[in-house]
A and B are shown apart, each in its own frame.
Chain A
Amino acid sequence: MIALLMRDIRLATRAGGGFGLGLAFFLIVVVLVPFGVGPQTDLLARIAVGILWIGALLACLLSLDRIFALDFEDGSLDLLATAPVPMEAVAVIKALAHWLTTGLPLVLAAPLLGVLLSLPADGYLPVVISLLLGTPALSMIGAFGAALTVGLRRGGLLLSLLVLPLYVPTLIFGAEMARRGIDGLDTTTPMLMLAGITCGTIALLPFAAAAVLRVNLR
């Protein structure tokens, strides 16, 4: 299982693996928003959390279809399915690799981009913590969506349509937690809800993802 994780990370970081694309996309979204809404600092500061969360979510979405599609096309998924590794573990490891190569860099980049959006000083810690708690769920839900659409041509668009509604609770609690942090309110409830959703997702969705993968390999 560690071998699979190392392989996926190695594949993602090697030339042509698409590592950094999500990060660059995140940067571009954040740069484009002020062009759209105007350069007023107070307005940007107010919507900074929302932009960072939406940007992270979209950047995450961008690389989802690679989670299983490449392995499906070159036959690795068939071989993994017959290897002594449970499909559930494959799903978790794949999601973890996606998080390490996409989600974690986004979390680390968020404070830097917060500067561009004149995020209030109190906001940095809540934003980073909320993203840190929320992005694993985004990767796991995304892995489920990727597993659903793995056998389909033109699965990419469908993947977004399926996955984005599933992102709603994570987005709501994540952004709410960061906003409350900025306003100096108590963040406990949204933080617990966010962490709960992430834990629940990681605990249960691998089974759904594995079931769906088995169906798609038939």
Chain B
Amino acid sequence: MLRADDLSVARGGLRVLDGVSFTLTSGEALILRGPNGAGKTTLLRTLAGLQPPLAGRIESEPDALVYAGHADGIKSMLTVRENLSFWAQVFGTSDISAALDAYELTALADRPAGMLSAGQKRRLGLSRLLVTGRPVWILDEPTVSLDTHAVSMFARVVRDHLAEGGAALMATHIDLGLNEARVLDVAPFRAKTPGIDEFDEAFL
């Protein structure tokens, strides 16, 4: 469903990862690991189409990807329900009750999002993935500020998603208990610094 072929990505004009290749098929989860600053976020943003790769190819089915980054894009002045139904409308779906249920947000549905705790906001951010109806999830540190209960909630949702033929690619440090997930360590792909004399067109 998603294939990266010999991908090079850059952050701030500097090449950080080189030659990343992987395939993600239906029902599969791939977990990115690597030290801070290794380029996980950059790789995910590149895959999501937010920035062009320096080299290599990304192949995916059309309209298959959905991205969730560090920030949840929640409007604090709108209620939980309004926040979620906005994204449902943008992605052309309508049913948000399943998403609210999955993250136990139904009771909070009419509360302004600004009054949620950090963990509740994160749950709202993650529930957005369900209303998009897209099969391939690209997640950047999805479990930040979640408690153990919420983490297991998230793991269950991901497992259900995979069982329905979806796929997930995530950067995380926490063990989600997703035993079937493959792990891709990005450290070996770290880009080598070119020699001083190799300055050319791109200054990289």
Contacts and interface: CB of A to CB of B under 8 A. Distances in A.
Is the A/B pair a real complex? yes
Given A7-B86, A80-B90, A14 B50 contact: no
Interface residues on B, range: 20 to 34
A79 interface: yes
B50 A78 contact: yes
A3 interface: yes
Interface residues of A, number: 26
Contacts of B74: 74
Contact of B77 (A3, A11, A83, A85): A11
Given A10-B82, A84-B92, A217-B51, A79 B87 contact: yes
B119 interface: no
Contact of A3 (B49, B63, B65, B89): B89
Given A84-B91, A217-B51, A218-B50, A78 B67 contact: yes
A154 B77 CA distance: 24
Nearest to B42: A218
A20 interface: no
Interface in B52-96: 52, 63, 65-75, 77-78, 82, 86-87, 89-92
Contact of A82 (B50, B52, B82, B86): B50
B89 A82 contact: no
A196 to B, nearest CB: 33
The residue among B69, B74, B90 with the most chain A CB atoms within 10 A of its own CB is B90
A82 B67 contact: yes
Nearest to B89: A3
A16 B112 CA distance: 13
Interface string A114-145: 00000000000000000000000000000000
Given A11-B78, A16-B77, A3 B90 contact: yes
A194 B74 CA distance: 38
B132 to A, nearest CB: 8
Nearest to A7: B86
Given A3-B86, A10-B82, A84-B92, A74 B71 contact: yes
Contacts of B65: 82
B67 A84 contact: no
Contact of A7 (B72, B75, B91, B132): B75
Closest 3 CB pairs of A and B: A75-B71, A3-B89, A76-B73
